[in-house]
Structure 1
Amino acid sequence: MAVAPPKELYVASFHRLEALVGGLLRRMEGGDPFRARRVLVISNLVRDRLQERLAREGAWAGVDFLTPLDLAREIAGPRVRRAGLRPLPPGGDAALASRLLRENAGRLRRLRPPEGIPGYDEALAATLADLREAGVSPADLQRAGDDSLRDLALLLDAYEARLASFGFYDEPGLLRAACGEAEASPQDIPTLLYGFADLNALQRRLVEACCRSAPAAALVPAEEGAPACAFVRPMLAWLRALGFTDRKVEKDGERPFAEAGRALFSAEGGASLAGDALRIVSAPAPGREAFELVRELLYSPGGSREAAVLVPGGEGYASLFEETCRSLGVEARAERGVSLDRTPAGRALLGMPLLRERGYPRAEVLRFLDEGSFAASASFLEWRTAKGSGEEDSCLASRWEVLSRRLPYANGEDGWRRAIDRAKEEEASASVGARRASPLRTFEAALNILFTHLRALPARALPSVHAEAAKRAFEALTGEIEGKEGVLAALEGAGRLDPFLGEVEGAEFRRWAALALERPGGGEPPKAARVRILSLQGARGLSFGTVAIPGLAEGLFPAHGREDPLLADDLRRRLNGRLAPEEKGLPPRLALKGERMAEARYLFWLALQSAGRRVVLGVPRAGGDGERSERASSLFLHHLASALGIAGEDEGLPRFGADILRIAAPGLEKETLRRRPVSALEGDLAALAALLPPARAERGALAHLGAAPGFARRRQALDDRWRPNVLTVHDGMLEDPDLLERLRGPLHPSRAAVAVTRLERFFQCPYQFLLGSLPELDAAEAPGPPLDADGLLRGSLFHAALERFFRSLKDRGAGPGEMAEEEFHGAVSAAAAGAFEEAEEAGSALLPLPWRLLRASVERQLEGFLRSAYRSGPPAWRPVEVEGKFKDLALALPPEAGDGRLLVSGRYDLLERSAEGEYRFVDFKSGRTAPKKKDPLGGGLWLQPHLYVRRGEGMLEPGARIGAAYAFVAEGAGYRLSGLSPEEMARLRPQVDRLLALFLRSAEAGVFFPLPSSACGHCGFIEVCGPERGPRARRKAEAAGRQALRMAQAAGEPDGPEEEEA
């Protein structure tokens, strides 16, 4: 009889479990360090933490970190693709449920949807997903004999049949397919189950199949016997029933709340706690609570370590803490993206069809024009270009409220037109000149553009038709606003609902579009931060120095459970009893929705154990049904007091004592401001408060403000930094004559040559260009990680290898397509080897193993690019010059550029010549982004080839045809050459001149404002701008200098589809 593979069970808190992972994976190697092993994790955040820890322990190979859904995709992905199935689009489950409810309305007894109740289809989709995840079949529901369950059986059967006939699969379907594959063909891959406290029935089935034929280990975060961990007992019982054997975990290095965690929610008390391990803040309302908890985090002992705010469910608290940290200048990182419907782009898209439905109300029209950046939209810019309007009109176009202020109340298209005609007549009778008439004509044109595009939205059509029409209108009526790319992608997903919905009204499609937007949008890449903001669920498996938990009030945490309206807990219990009557103590097939207290207690225990040093709890005293309503403190707070042996209450709060509990007063607290200010403003207020008499201040006491040294200057600086739509000296506007004169030497491009790459940097962020030009200011470069290459090092290795390769070809007088296969492969290997040896001599090498892996990757990608770009067709190009340099190239610009003289210098990667005699400059790119067809210059970010061609015009024979190409050499960019023909270069030349002219004018006038973007994460001057750079820049989005840059970047853009990011 075959011996079952070993299965081990470890039960301990997370910080002890993660220390075991490396040793267990080493044991699972079985003598083969390259053996495949799986680590199933509860979240990608836990995956990142474990990978980082393992990287510090040595080199690893063959270890995959997967969530259960990732595992299902890996196992069943080939099968569903062979079957021609597609993933269900966002909102597809609710759309299909909506269709089934309509089609079966006459057959339903208890679950017929009531009239006028929205969201019934979404609730049905969630219930059907629960049933499918539990492995419940329609026959199981029929046998139960309840009318509601018979209705659910009918709908479940129809849902699965229709899903298959439409050729889609959803998450439960993918899990079910993976279970079948794993059970039919067991894999000999050791599996480590990390951090799971519960799994649904399909996930348990999949885990069981994967652990049947190979060694396995389960690491469960809990403490045996602790009442707070009762939620985990069914999971432990299931693992032991599968044959997992308990293993002892050494209890070394206990955390501050280990003893209190064991006593929590029990009758025992008297647990010990270090004096500074717990802080509780009672605040008047949630807003003040967030402010005071951030203060506690900043002044906590060991403050250099990362702190975290673990918020109860919902987005309210997370958004509140994000805004609080932003206002205080505290670097914070939220581990969730803002849902797309809350971004400016999402609000603009959803509000767009409502404008016509509601008769174009003035407030909503102005909000759409402002928030959608209509002044920078393609349709408005096209009108302005055709009209030939001047600079004054451009500035007024961003002030829609001013333009419409003189108009009376209007409703509907005809009403707006009558109001504008009446205003025109009044102007004419008052002999108002053309200067006053121009703004009115601008607003009239904006309305006409808006009316034209919104009239094109269909009243009734298929979702795909609605989506395409909405996309055209949205792109035409909005500029570059936050969330636009994610919104367009979600809109495309809503357009794939044709099979489920059929033809729908415009209002109905808007609902499905809104549902598709209720998902997080892509944010900036993760970055180090002083404070991390996570949900209690999302923080499982992570550790922090100090943890803050807000919302310890009745109804907030723990939250009240809500039963499923279509499948109540009583019916779920009956189904569980019928489906698995013998599984006492094991996880139920269907989870009970109303009984969430055990899970909330467990999450509270986990949050306490995640703190390595200190926990700060927040209690909002008000903010229930209204701002003034009082809230009772959470029972969890009283359980914690009982665990610590604290008895008695004062005004509804346990008697923790002044060393633990701080009650924040509704007004300013002088002593708190003096001892622990969280901003310069609080420091000023504390200093001013010290000057005031202790008695009540009389009228005129504010005169002390003016007498305080430096107060007026600091207040003026604060006002200037945040003044909307006005650029000041705090935004890179150089006004001091002496400073301007001092900087004009190194900055002025008509007197000293400016590098082509720095020109592109100006259009990415003029302020970064300025700071990089100051000889006294050096960028603060962060050291790269020893296990991975940053983008700069990786790019330099690609460039160095390509330079060596093409230089060797030039010496031979051949092109890449003319070499024999063996000769080609040897040249690529030699070029890569030379580039890496040069980097090693310069001290750029990583640790040995990742350095070898990086070298193999670069060599493989170089060969892939050269084969794809040069050897897949007939030989055509030969290198003429490699790494060519030039300086003091004088460019003549149009008269509006001032003196019209620009000196540039540069270094081009490669100049080639074709067999037909055409030349092209090639710019190597090792990144993943490419110019867009709609904007091939990228607003000034893709200028290099255009200036290299001008260099070639003075260097090559007269009349030579000269083009350019971007060489995307990395695998992620698709191994391709993106060419620019000589005709294309000539067509774009006027727009290049306009951009260069703007640069000349900015350099002469000292205009260098910041343009925050995702590139700020790679900027060495980020500390100069400060953490509030984004909100501050958004307040100045319509300033004259910003508008001039947008106009120069937008001028002359060709029509056409936008190229995908490579």
Structure 2
Amino acid sequence: MSKVSESRIDVFSDAGRRVQVAREWIQAYSPDTEVLVLAHSAEAASDLQMSVVNSTGSWFGMKRFTLNVLAARLAQHALADSGRAPASNLSFTAVVARAIHSLQSEGKLSYFEPVATRPGFPVAVARTLEELRMNEVDVDSIARLERGGKDLAAIANLVEQQLQESKLNDRAALFRAAIDSINSPENTPYVGLPILFLDVATRSRLETRLIQELAAPSPRVLATMPKGDERTIAAFEAALGCKRNHAAGDHDASSTSLSFAKQHLFENSAPPVTPLDASVTIQNWPGEPRECVEIVRSIQAQAAEGVPFDQMAVLLNSPGEYRSHLEEAFSRAEIPAYFVRGTTAPDPAGRAMLALLACAADGLSAKRFAEYLSLGQVPAPEANKDVESKWVAPNDELIAGATEAESEAVTELVGSSAVAKPEDAAVVDGALRAPARWERLLVDSAVIGGKERWIRRLEGLANEFRLRMEEAAPEDEARVGSIRKQIRDLDALQEYALPLIERLADLPARANWDEWLAHLRELAVNALRQPEGVMATLAELDPMSSVGPVDLYEVQLVLEARLHDLGVEPPKRRYGRVFIGPVDAARGLSFRSVFIPGLAERIFPRKIVEDPILPDVQRKDTELTTRRDQLEAERLALRIAVGAARERVYLSYPRIDVQQSRPRVPSFYALEALRAAEGKLPGFEEIASRAESTTRARLGWPAPKRPEAAIDEAEYDLALLANLVESSKEEATGAAHYLLTANTHLARALRARSRRWLRRWTPNDGLVDVDDLGRQSLAKHQFSARSFSATALQNYASCPYRFFLSAILRLDLRQEPAAIEAIDPLTRGSLFHETQFEVLTKLKAAGLLPLETGSLGKAFDLVDQELGRLAGDYEDRLAPAIPRVWQDGINSIRVDLREWLRRMADSDEGWIPDKFELSFGLSDRGPRESDPASVDDPVAIIGDLKLRGSIDMVERQGDRYRVTDHKTGKARAPKDTIVGGGRYLQPLLYALACQELLDGHVESGRLYYCTADGGYEERIVPLDEDNLPILNSVLIAIRQALADAFLPAAPDKDACTWCDFLAVCGAFEEKRTSMKPRDRLVQIKALRGLP
């Protein structure tokens, strides 16, 4: 290899100096001279060209590339001649995943076998293999390693085999092809030109070899390097055959704190001890979100001083910690931002695609389908579903470099899902196509999963709706209209969901990637409102077409990490926007002001961990990176970030870890930056004190000291209020009145919150002091106007507002369609009661009541028969996730039912079970199993109360009756209960209803805890002249509360603990209402004291 005629390596800590030297080097040529510029990023190359053009007026011959793009360009003809294609990083990961899956399924992995099926394992192995291949490490040497060497060598060999069979070139193969093709005639336009390497980083042997081959025929080469990048500098010295230019100098003529920091950072030297000037600022803030807001505030201040947005940058060492917070802060302040290529953001379309794949993997799970619906990606009916027209080019540098023209490979991502807004969602009858009603329909239909079950359950629900509409009274227009709306919603759900379920069911069990990609593209265009990001990701896998067969698990493994957060395509030009990106993206760029957040431990620097696949001890005597190299890279990151600033650098760190609620300390890098800037090393306490002295920030009050410095309206309001707290009464009065007119919702919320804690009753305490409209609405809920169930009336004693929410507003807990893991108490109770009804009905028909000991065998057989049948129906409806747990629950019910029957046979009280599920007033519930003596209308009992419900069992003894309400839980009612403070009304209410329905005297009502949990205890309440006045006292209290429209949130002691409406009221109702006047609660207090 001949030495280049003239080469130079200039090393500076100041990015501005590096860019200046590069510009002067180019300007030494005439504007029409062809010059090859290789920069670390496309942004750096573009900035340099713009700088040159601004200085010279024009320039025609500059060829700008990154090293990856040029390598792809040099190799493209060789790849085309051999019929091979470049593999993106995603494609290479897929090949690695295929190899691991094959070896693991064949039992050929030993060391890595325990972790081979973990989702992150293929990604980690792919990263290690790429490093090994880029450094040309021999596979045989890997096999000799003690810890996992044989496994890793086996994976590497199989990956190489599959790459060859699939005619794929990974990054290493592409670089080798570029090196071999560099002197081919097709690459003449790129070879033999003067070359500028602008802050190009090299991390592998193949990169260094390519640089060497490019430089050899070049008449003149300049390489600029950031100070501290020893690995890259050494590689360039070897490639160019020259040493770094020590005579270049690296001393800024100015004596600012910033210039001192650049010169002495991580050096053994130090500047004279001088206080910090305005060029270096250190601050801390309570948490990363607040830190990002303060960065935006400082950007606004810099812009006010005349610094353009595109001359400011936010450089991140841990982008994942800050990206979302910065995005929100810039959006709030309406400052245009340029997130560099490679920045990722949560993507609704990608996550919707993953939810659909999980739905298919989980047996067409309704829960996963509901998750997909919740992401708002249901496409419009008129949307274009043609796959070809929806094709999007892959967003990968290697593939783009091999296929695109030399013009900038930057295109705007049309309709980027990362910034999509849902306002344009399609509508049906004025409602969103994916309404919350669809999720409710999935719950009501009990789909759970399975293609046939989807069809059967949705059709069954449709039939049920039609039956309800037929049974509804024609004059009940509201109910008929509601049912029709449900039918329309269900029709829309069936029309959309069933074809999609069919498509998911048709996904192959195993297939090559070309077949999978065809299915996935069809799924994307038919199921996603904005499929562009997903389609671009799938395009990266096109070179994998012949690889396979793979199953759905492998497909999910490959796509999950990429689709969860998709890359955000930056705007076409970065000018006029604040530059935001990882520190490495700033190589070759210079800004007037730079913001460096996160100078706290484990953020900057990040925690140094060795490669889990190939530890450092096995990397010795190689050119692979070790923890020492990672440490140097962390130091280099701070050098680059500080060096990118020409005028000011803002250092900051979060003093609180918001997620873990613990304090954070500044990192040693923050201390080192200050030492380099001011000549002395501060302590942790000193730096914290200095950083806080310039800030006034509280975690619980996110606003600046001065309202004028607010970044948006919300901050302005909070800042104003904070100052008013410290103002005199005269100054504060009326100062914030504008808030009440600026936002009606805020005004209503503030007044409601304030009134709830007043020491008097207000309308914000529940249904209290209603107006005429409220009274008119409540008129149809009086005792005389409608019926009530005993359960609803019992809620009044626990809390009047609970009674209002459940009985008047009829609110209920939201349910999710999911396979149950255990039988919950409500399901157990329903199954228990239905089995009791069927068993008792058949025993009566067979003439086996009253039950005797000799008939227990037949009774037990009936229990087994009916419980088995009903349990099968429930199992089909609920689809239990763990059959053994379900069966154990059924067996428990069987044991309780048998013991209940045995105790019935042993009883000598003389009561004969006569009627079962004697219902009244339940016609609106649709067809149900009930006793023939049941009536459709509610029963009028005491006064004007009309009762609705169903009596589990009516027993007869001569002309006397006893009603029984079976309970399947613990016996919580005291043994001498009559109404139990209004909480146990069923015995007396049902006894009165039975007396109205049957021709005979009802002696008593009974609560029978007929399971082992309840100890088979009973609470018998006689229906006599002593107990009726007690019941009447309860009903009078409820009747009066309805008439007075006074149903406040006044819970009984501990009533909120298990209340379904805790989310409505909050957790402090018992404490809050204890401060209210007690005079209006006299009646309910007296009610709660009843026996």
Please, what TM-score do these two structures have when normalized by structure 2?
0.57
The one-letter amino acid of 2:122's match is D
SS at match of 2:122: helix
CA distance in 2, matches of 1:111, 1:373: 39
C-alpha displacement of 1:360: 6.8
- The aligned residue for residue 62 of structure 1 is 61
> After superposition, where does 1:524-543 map in structure 2 within 5 Å?
524-543=571-590
CA distance in 1, matches of 2:3, 2:521: 61
- The aligned residue for residue 674 of structure 2 is 641
CA distances 1:484-536 after superposition (whole Å, capped 9, x unpaired): 223123235446534333141x3432333335536515454335445332111
Residues 1:571 and 2:618 aligned together: yes
- The aligned residue for residue 714 of structure 1 is 742
> After superposition, where does 1:143-158 map in structure 2 within 5 Å?
146=146, 148-158=148-158
CA distance in 1, matches of 2:78, 2:703: 68
The more displaced of 357-366 and 169-178 is 357-366
- The aligned residue for residue 699 of structure 2 is 666
> After superposition, where does 1:732-771 map in structure 2 within 5 Å?
none
CA distance in 2, matches of 1:338, 1:42: 16
CA distance in 2, matches of 1:420, 1:93: 48
Contact 2:605 2:667 in 1 (8 A): yes
C-alpha displacement of 1:130: 0.7
CA distance in 2, matches of 1:682, 1:402: 37
- Distance change >3 Å, CA 140–CA 4, structure 1 → 2: same
- The aligned residue for residue 597 of structure 2 is 550
The one-letter amino acid of 2:471's match is S
Out of 36, 41, 57, the residue aligned to residue 34 of structure 2 is 36
Residues 1:500 and 2:547 aligned together: yes
CA distance in 2, matches of 1:355, 1:703: 57
> After superposition, where does 1:404-483 map in structure 2 within 5 Å?
405=440, 408=444, 410=446, 411-412=448-449, 413=454, 414-419=456-461, 421-431=463-473, 433=477, 435-448=481-494, 449-457=496-504, 458-462=507-511, 463-479=513-529, 481=530
Structure 2's unaligned 5+ residue stretches are 387-425, 749-1091
- The aligned residue for residue 347 of structure 2 is 343
- The aligned residue for residue 48 of structure 2 is 50
- Distance change >3 Å, CA 452–CA 191, structure 1 → 2: same
Residues 1:369 and 2:373 aligned together: yes
CA distance in 1, matches of 2:485, 2:366: 17
- The aligned residue for residue 284 of structure 2 is 282
CA distances 1:156-202 after superposition (whole Å, capped 9, x unpaired): 34433432232111111111111223378994222121113544211
CA distance in 1, matches of 2:614, 2:47: 38
Say which one has the larger Rg.
2
The more displaced of 709-718 and 274-283 is 709-718
The one-letter amino acid of 2:490's match is E
Q: Percent identity?
A: 21
- Distance change >3 Å, CA 281–CA 392, structure 1 → 2: closer
Residues 1:510 and 2:556 aligned together: yes
- The aligned residue for residue 316 of structure 1 is 321
Aligned residues: 679
CA distance in 2, matches of 1:703, 1:239: 72
- The aligned residue for residue 596 of structure 1 is 630
- Distance change >3 Å, CA 477–CA 22, structure 1 → 2: closer
- The aligned residue for residue 950 of structure 2 is none
C-alpha displacement of 1:246: 5.5
The one-letter amino acid of 1:166's match is S
CA distances 1:589-619 after superposition (whole Å, capped 9, x unpaired): 2222564121111111221121222222221
C-alpha displacement of 1:108: 5.0
- Distance change >3 Å, CA 208–CA 116, structure 1 → 2: closer
- The aligned residue for residue 613 of structure 1 is 647
Contact 2:697 2:704 in 1 (8 A): no
Please, what TM-score do these two structures have when normalized by structure 1?
0.58
CA distance in 2, matches of 1:657, 1:470: 52
SS at match of 2:516: helix
- The aligned residue for residue 630 of structure 1 is 663
> After superposition, where does 1:914-933 map in structure 2 within 5 Å?
none
SS at match of 1:299: helix
Structure 1's unaligned 5+ residue stretches are 383-390, 577-588, 721-1062
The one-letter amino acid of 2:308's match is R
CA distances 1:327-375 after superposition (whole Å, capped 9, x unpaired): 23222222246647x3222122111233355577777545533534436
CA distance in 1, matches of 2:155, 2:139: 8
- The aligned residue for residue 211 of structure 2 is 207
Out of 484, 487, 493, the residue aligned to residue 534 of structure 2 is 487
CA distance in 2, matches of 1:196, 1:356: 45
Contact 1:646 1:654 in 2 (8 A): no
Q: Note the aligned Cα RMSD (angstroms).
A: 3.8
C-alpha displacement of 1:77: 1.7
- The aligned residue for residue 96 of structure 2 is 97
C-alpha displacement of 1:262: 2.5
CA distances 1:903-955 after superposition (whole Å, capped 9, x unpaired): xxxxxxxxxxxxxxxxxxxxxxxxxxxxxxxxxxxxxxxxxxxxxxxxxxxxx
CA distance in 1, matches of 2:692, 2:605: 25
CA distance in 1, matches of 2:234, 2:96: 32
- Distance change >3 Å, CA 336–CA 320, structure 1 → 2: farther
CA distance in 2, matches of 1:346, 1:33: 46
CA distance in 2, matches of 1:622, 1:350: 34
CA distance in 2, matches of 1:102, 1:357: 17
SS at match of 1:18: helix
Contact 2:39 2:588 in 1 (8 A): no
Contact 2:4 2:220 in 1 (8 A): no
- Distance change >3 Å, CA 631–CA 422, structure 1 → 2: farther
CA distance in 1, matches of 2:244, 2:656: 48
- The aligned residue for residue 394 of structure 1 is 429
Contact 2:19 2:590 in 1 (8 A): no
SS at match of 2:599: coil
The one-letter amino acid of 1:277's match is S
- Distance change >3 Å, CA 403–CA 165, structure 1 → 2: closer
The one-letter amino acid of 1:49's match is D
- Distance change >3 Å, CA 444–CA 594, structure 1 → 2: farther
CA distance in 1, matches of 2:31, 2:325: 48
- Distance change >3 Å, CA 96–CA 669, structure 1 → 2: closer
The one-letter amino acid of 2:653's match is V
Contact 1:265 1:639 in 2 (8 A): yes
- The aligned residue for residue 914 of structure 1 is none
CA distance in 1, matches of 2:359, 2:195: 55
- Distance change >3 Å, CA 161–CA 477, structure 1 → 2: closer
C-alpha displacement of 1:404: 5.5
- The aligned residue for residue 20 of structure 1 is 21
C-alpha displacement of 1:43: 0.8
SS at match of 1:308: strand
CA distance in 2, matches of 1:376, 1:350: 20
SS at match of 1:182: coil
C-alpha displacement of 1:694: 4.3
- Distance change >3 Å, CA 359–CA 210, structure 1 → 2: closer
Contact 1:551 1:619 in 2 (8 A): yes
> After superposition, where does 1:575-590 map in structure 2 within 5 Å?
576=622, 589-590=623-624
